Structure 1
Amino acid sequence: MFSSPDFAPPRLAAVRPMRRFVVPLAAVLAAGLVWVLPANSLLWDALNRALSSPADGRVVVVGIDDATLRDYGRISSWPRDLYRQALDTLDQAGASAIGVDVLLADPARNDAALAAVFSRPNVVLATAPDEPTTLRPDWKSPTGISALNLSSDGVVRSFQAAYPDPGSPDGVAPSFARQLAVAAGRNVPLDSGDRILRYSAPHPQRLPVVPFRDVVNGTIRYGDFQNRVVVVGLTATGAGGPTVRDVGGQVVPGVELQARAVSSLLSAPFTTLPLWTVMLAGALAAVAAVLAGGLWGFGIALLALALAVPYWLLNTLLPGVTLSLCGVLGTGLVMLERGLTLRRTGVRDPLTGFGNRLAFTRALEGRWQTRHVRPLGLLLVDLSGFRKVNVAYGYAAGDELLRDLAERILRHKRRGDLLFRWGPDEFAVLLDNINSTELANLTRQVQLSLDNMTYRELHLQASVGGASTGPDIVQPTDLIEAASRSRYRIKYQREQWRI
């Protein structure tokens, strides 16, 4: 307990403050925390809502609404010529890319007649996740999986440019949004990493959803579609179409979320910081909190959260919550360090670094049960003349003398022995696993090292007494009394010798 370097006198051994251990521990724990929590979905949801992207005017939704279904009936019973008419109208209006977010895998009589329409490079057809990517051999338009990433709470926060597809040579198939962005001239890598779906708050100046029947009939303003990316899909209420919630909590048709995915791909992409960079930042936050001490870690935590805002505006995803937790972690370690220090201070002599009287009592009681296997010994050291030094030269001189005495005693310490300051000018050494012969030799060596001690012109005298457990020692107080009698006997003999 007291044999570690932490309990050595400050001038006697290399001092290793707890902070030397707390700093690397904070760095390691913070790096591990970042490893476990690399993403902050809730934080990014909040930033997505608070710093929503402006409506992208390049993306227009053509909705198959309730009025369209009343005019043409259920989608499954439509003549496919309606799609040809709509796509011809959009093509004449100058749309740069057209996405049909309607699953067309069901058989129909005039599919072959659509080969010319569904073979245009600027037209993208939607497929289901488990559906072949080639709908018909004579349809040459690119296809993409119509899918979004639905969280366990029913909210769509992200999407992917590609989804796993065992049947594909690369093991992945492009998403519908990615194919539509590519058709619009955007170079989007074919990767399956999650991408933030940018939230777009309702905007009064944004072009509203255009009814599909108006496009079929040609009753639209061509200027509204020139050089635009058009997404065609179901928006009717209660028609069984895909409706999910966005980060704003609103129930949104799937086609509108696909339009947001396309808009996200057309905008500057979000950058995810490398894991090692975030781990380093987390370690620095925790270490800074430890070195600053006090409650500065909470300030570092707030700063980490605040930095997430400018990083978001720069299209960079900073896990501010995780870095904030790293700062709090550092403060927690500071509190733990102080608690342990206070606990140690209660059983430690601040002048010499030895244990105090309370520590001696606990240590003796703790080792007493094993005295039959490992005999205990006790040395008591008394210094005569200490008070004279205090009176003549002051308390600072007395402290210097006690540190010198502690250093002399420490030189004889064996492995497993514990050192204590027994009283103002008394020291105790609890000896581990020692027999009577070894005790006598050690007592003599300590006594010789303390003989002829002086402080300036004052002569000092130390008396060393020792005892060890045996048949006549039945309780801890017996060992203390035996060592005290030995010490007083030595002291008396030395005083008689001087006379």
Structure 2
Amino acid sequence: MLGFPDSLTVRPGTARPVRRLAVPLAALLAAALAWAVPENGLLWDALNRALPSPPDGRVLVVGIDDATLRDYGRIGSWPRELYGQALNTLDQAGVAAIGVDVLLADPARNDAALAAVFSRPNVVLATAPGEPTALRPDWRSPTGISALNLSDDGIVRSFQAAYPDPALPGNLAPSFARQLAVAAGRTVPLDEQPRILRYSAPDPQRLPVIPFRDVVNGSIRYGDFQNRVVLVGLTASGVGGPTVRDVSGQTVPGVELQARAVSSLLSAPFISLPLWTVMLAGVLAAIAAVLAGGVWGFAIALLALALAVPYWLLNSLLPGVTLSLCAVLGTGLVMLERWWILRRSGVRDPLTGFGNRLAFTRAVESRWQGRQSRPLGLLLVDLSGFRKVNSVYGYAAGDELLRELAGRIMQHKRRGDLIFRWGPDEFAVLLDNTASAELADLTRRVQLSLDTVAYRDLSLQASVGGASTGPDINTPSDLIEAASRSRYRIKYQRQQWRV
């Protein structure tokens, strides 16, 4: 069934109403998309790899490497005085804070002798998730959970300042990295907000991982450690230590990732945009793409994606992929609109928005089979004097007159009726479920409303003829012929009456 409601009318010099529908629809869909996807983890992974942070000179790693294990044996069998010697050396070197990323929960005979070392406020001891936060009553140094956020693909992308405390449901236990940053003088709130772990590319100019045995023996330059944050942890290969992968895909010892977490906390934090800001930006991107139209929508999408780079450099997390998708969504609506217009342009009159003669033929064919239960009626309207209006006042005046005529016919349109522009100065109204008696009344009312049509000083005359399906109407052509005869008969009678 083909019909062209007045809401799709396109008039010269006016915006297309379909576009007015596309703008709010684009805004609604973009807001939903931004609400559903406010973060772009893969994009931020790519930016983290492509724009690595320079190695933080404030953070050093003292590694328990293969050479250290050859000297002192398996780490679990060490005399713990070695930790005391190493921490005393670091303290003499003037470090700001020391983190021991080695789990010391198992008791040893000489633990009491380390009370003085492990009770310093600038020393942080690591605990495993689920372990008590207090390792020994006489060790009063702060502790932190040595944990990082491991993704399903085995990559560490983020960490937290705190994790749920299993011993006290509802409470939070500080993380190891957070405690070290606090010991170094940084204020870090205790929350579970995931924070991006900054990636640092290897720098040959920076100090490598310092062997633990060199620290124990005092074979270090104190100036390299002054005011630094030092993490002590296992870096040896092949001993089952905590090794995971970073965003570059490289396997990295856990203590080095903890060092990156501390560096991330000591640096300016990344700022996540509020959800309402992301939604507003997505709506604006979609609307801009709709209003720009064409390939400009894709340009807006690329711009939204490219803006993620300067925002990253300014420590702001812009979900460029989401905003880009919002712009593509707006462009898609524009393409859908154009497809809709092109699909209908072959069967629509651009001046009035009514169907053309081809649309009339399709509509009659579609409804013809049901004429027995729902009789079809047809009104044909023509306007005498229209060509004179064009010749005297121009085609713009003729267009204005046709629009007025179309508006008057539209006032009598019932539900299910379809209106078509039949010719240059002719209209056809295909009537749904219309018997002969109702046809006569409708023809009369349409004729009365058109009798007053005029344009300035020119005389015009509208003629309306009608017919409906019946026993003597066997084809659509018969219906058209019957309506045409009725129209010419009325036109002739009205001319005779005027004479």
Q: Same fold (TM over 0.5)?
A: yes
Q: Are the equivalent residues in 2 in contact too, given 1:8–1:15 (CA < 8 A)?
A: no
Residue 477 of structure 1 and its aligned partner are, at CA, apart by 3.7
1:250 pairs with 2:242: no
Equivalent positions of 1:296-307 (< 5 A) are: 296-307=296-307
- Decide whether the 8 Å contact of 2:4 with 2:354 is kept in 1: no
Residue 442 (structure 1) shift: 1.0
User: How well do the aligned residues superpose, as a CA RMSD in angstroms?
Assistant: 2.4
2:431 equivalent in structure 1: 431
CA distance in 2, matches of 1:131, 1:478: 93
The superposition leaves residues 314-359 of structure 1 with CA deviations (integer Å, 9 ceiling, x where unpaired) of 2111111211222222222222222212222222111222111122
The structural deviation recorded for 1:175 is 0.8
Spell out, residue by residue over 1:172-195, the C-alpha distance to the aligned partner (whole angstroms, 9 max, x if none).
211110011111111100111111
The letter for the 2-side match of 1:190 is L
The percent of aligned pairs where both chains have the same amino acid is 81
| Equivalence for 1:446 | 446
Deviations 1:50-69 (CA, angstroms, capped at 9, x unpaired): 32222211111000000011
Task: State whether structure 2 residue 65 is matched by structure 1 residue 62.
Answer: no
Structure 1 Cα separation of the partners of residues 3 and 212 of structure 2: 84
Instruction: State the 1:7 CA deviation.
Output: 4.2
Of 36-45 and 255-264, deviating more is: 36-45
Aligned partner of 2:407 in structure 1 is 407
Q: Structure 1 residues 372, 130: CA separation in 2 closer, same or farther (over 3 Å shift)? A: farther
- Identify the residue that residue 6 of structure 2 maps to in structure 1: 5
How far the C-alpha of 1:230 sits from its partner, in A, is 0.7
Give CA-to-partner distance per residue, 1:276-331, whole Å, 9 cap, x none: 01110111111111112221122222222222222222211111121122222222
Q: After TM superposition, list the pairs within 5 Å mapping 1:475-494 onto structure 2.
A: 475-494=475-494
Residues 413 and 289 of structure 1: is their aligned pair in 2 closer, same or farther, counting only changes over 3 Å?
same
Structure 2 distance, partners of 1:282, 1:380, is 50
Q: TM-score, normalised by structure 1?
A: 0.93
TM-score (norm 2): 0.93
Check whether the contact 1:6–1:15 (CA below 8 A) recurs between aligned residues.
no
How far 1:266 moved relative to its partner?
0.7
**Unmatched tracts of structure 2, length 5 or more:** none
Give the stretch that moved more between structures: 379-388 or 66-75: 379-388
Q: In structure 2, the residue corresponding to 1:281 is in which secondary structure?
A: helix
* Partner deviation per Cα, 1:14-35 (whole Å, 9 max, x = no partner): 9861111111111111111111
**CA 2–459 in structure 1, closer or farther in 2 if over 3 Å, else same:** same
Q: Which residue of 2 aligns with 1:264?
A: 264
User: How far apart, in 2, do the equivalents of 1:229 and 1:457 lie?
Assistant: 96
Query: 1:160 and 1:373 mapped to 2: Cα distance?
Result: 73
Match of 1:119 in 2: 119
Q: Report how many residues are paired.
A: 497
Instruction: Go from structure 1 to structure 2 and tell me whether the alpha carbon gap of 1:284 and 1:453 turns closer, same or farther (over 3 Å shift).
Output: closer
Structure 2 matches for 1:222-261, cutoff 5 A? 222-261=222-261
AA aligned opposite 2:191? D
Q: Which amino acid aligns with 1:166?
A: P
Instruction: Give the structure 2 partner of residue 168 of structure 1.
Output: 168
Q: Say which is worse superposed, 414-423 or 395-404, in terms of deviation.
A: 395-404
Instruction: Say if 1:9 and 1:403, in contact at 8 Å, map to a contact too.
Output: no
The answer to whether the 8 Å contact 2:4/2:355 transfers is no
1:360 and 1:7 mapped to 2: Cα distance?
Answer: 17
**What SS class does the counterpart of residue 307 from structure 2 fall into?**
helix
Distance (whole Å) between structure 1 residues aligned to residue 107 and residue 482 of structure 2: 105
User: In 2, are the aligned partners of 1:156 and 1:246 still within 8 Å (CA)?
Assistant: yes
Q: Are the counterparts in 1 of residues 380 and 429 from structure 2 also a CA contact under 8 Å? A: yes
Structure 1 residue 472: Cα displacement: 4.4
> 1:270: how far off?
0.9
Between the aligned partners of 1:81 and 1:452, the Cα distance in structure 2 is: 111
Q: Distance in 1 between matches of 2:373 and 2:98?
A: 89
Q: Deviations over 1:356-392 (max 9, x none)?
A: 1122223333344544454332111123343444455
